[in-house]
Amino acid sequence: MKSVIYYACGILSLLGAIYGAPAGNVIRGSGNPPLRGSENLLGYSPDNKLTEHSTEEIKYTLLPAQKEDPKIGSYLDFEKVDNPQPIRGDLGASDPGPRNYYYDRINSDKLAPPGTDKGQTINAQWPMGLSHNRYGKENSGWARQENTVVMPAATKMAGVDMRLEAGAYRELHWHVAGEWSLVLNGSCRIQAVNENGQTFVDDVTEGDVWFFPPGVPHSIQALDVGVEFLLVFDDGSFSEDNTFLASEVFMHNPNPKRSVLSKNFGLPLSSFNDIPESELYIFPGTPAPKDISEQNVTTAAGIVPLNKSYSYHFSEQPAHEVAGGSVKIVDPVTFPIADNFAAAVVTVRPGGMREIHWHPTSDEWTFFIKGKARATLFTAPSTATTFDYRAGDVGYFPQSNSHYIENTGDEDLMFLEVLQTDKFTDVSLGQWIGSTPKQIVSDTLSLPESALSKLKTEKQYVVAGSNETAVAQR
């Protein structure tokens, strides 16, 4: 009997070898197929089997705007659509999957792009929600970043979204890159000492900005309400992981019995018995004193002069109101120390739009603070891609590439535009066309006289929606 079993197993092993399955892959008595199939499955055979279910029977309902001419390009709100489809007019076709329905619903302009899109520009979008989160110690905070690792074309600037719980520190540190910051919520105390020995300390709150030049050591401590802030660096490859930390400096000097540190500070060796054995980065601390004057340490050099202050209380600057929202600008004209950072906080009411524009001297790094938006990036000579944005997303628009940012939600849209330049400037498409002789515009664009007479010669920054142009198709 045993010989029969051995013979049968030998035959199975031989068949497995012939048909591509390693010997021993058949589990005796289980009926489990081998890992590899037969060579008989290669190419055409009259015995080939076709799928019996039709991919033409997908159930879906198109939004009204999907039946329009694709070049109209109305916004498609797919959030409550069960089975959104990549269809606009006579373009596209149904998608049976596999697919990620969550992404499709919040990125309708990727799934069903306007007919005016063409080709593929750079990827001008990165959600911070997809960035790896770096934890602080003992539930003290976190940080996540965007740089060229995740957004390769964003070469000029990188960003970090950081949270500190009440009393927590971003430890004493400095960077090779310049650090510009907008406080998103809460309050914190910032402190620095510059290369001249001048000292600085200030409390900043939601809407305020700060800037620390490259190499200037500083610290940040959340006050009793905690804080979240956005950091923007003037190097797209910047990484928080490469920050110079005080704890690391202490750890990485030769330390035979801590003699180097003892000699440097003129302190006994025992003073350094308890220095950290690993980086602190973000960690809990003793709450800052209510009276900031208690932390006003000065040297013979005194304090940082007011015209070189590292903070600017942008929260107290009134917004400039325009038809579709408001704009606030901060740049070296009013904040001199940040000599290559210019920024605007833009608010767009529902249906409104940051007008079509471009920046002639700088890329634009954008962070979406609140609301929903979409933008079309146009790159010469004929490439255009439309992106959808949510709060927490980063947008990036290269120098001189035109774009708009449209509010596609039911609440105010708020976002930050950051440039690498000494003055916030842009070129407005509307102002350019409106300030060009009507004959030239008519000959070039074939606009009727009724339209030419309504063109504006001044920048609008934000334009309001109208019943004709701003009703979202839902």
Residue 53 in marked binding region: no
For residue 187, count other CB atoms closer than 10 A to its CB: 17
CA distance 210 to 150: 26
What is the C-alpha separation between 152 and 206, in angstroms, rounded? 30
132 marked as part of a ligand binding site? no
Residue 236 CB: number of other CB atoms within 10 A?
Answer: 22
User: Percent helix, strand, coil in the chain (nearest 5)?
Assistant: 20, 30, 50
CA gap 195, 206 in Å, rounded:
29
What string of H, E and C letters represents the secondary structure of 92-112?
ECCCCCCCCHHHHHHCHHHHC
Q: Are 112 and 84 in contact (CB under 8 A)?
A: yes
Contact 292, 203 (CB under 8 A): yes
Residue 323: how many other CB atoms lie within 10 Å:
12
Positions marked catalytic:
417
**Residue 119's Cα: distance from chain center in Å?**
22
Longest dimension (CA), the chain: 103
**Residue for token pair 């804080």:** 227
Tokens representing residue 321 in the block? 């109101």
355 labeled binding residue: no
**CA–CA gap between residue 405 and residue 389 (Å, rounded):** 9
Identify residue 241 by its one-letter amino acid code: D
Closest CA to 355 of 406, 417, 412: 406
Length of the chain: 474
Q: By C-alpha distance, which of 244, 117, 93 is closest to 179?
A: 244
- Confirm or deny that 195 is annotated as ligand binding: no
**Rounded Cα–Cα distance for residues 188 and 231 (Å):** 14
Q: Can you read off the two tokens belonging to residue 196?
A: 């001249």
**Do 369 and 415 contact (CB within 8 A), yes or no?**
yes
| Residue 446, C-beta contacts closer than 8 angstroms, at least 6 positions apart | none
In this structure, the number of other CB atoms found within 10 A of the CB of residue 11 comes to 10
352: amino acid identity, one letter: G
Q: Which residues pair with 232 in a beta bridge?
A: 159, 180
The whole-angstrom separation of Cα 460 and Cα 325 is: 10
Neighbours of 41 (CB within 10 A): 12
Nearest to 79 by CA among 417, 409, 448, 416: 409
Q: Which amino acid is at 422?
A: D
Binding-site sequence positions for Mn(2+) = 173, 175, 179, 218, 357, 359, 364, 403
Binding-site sequence positions = 173, 175, 179, 218, 357, 359, 364, 403
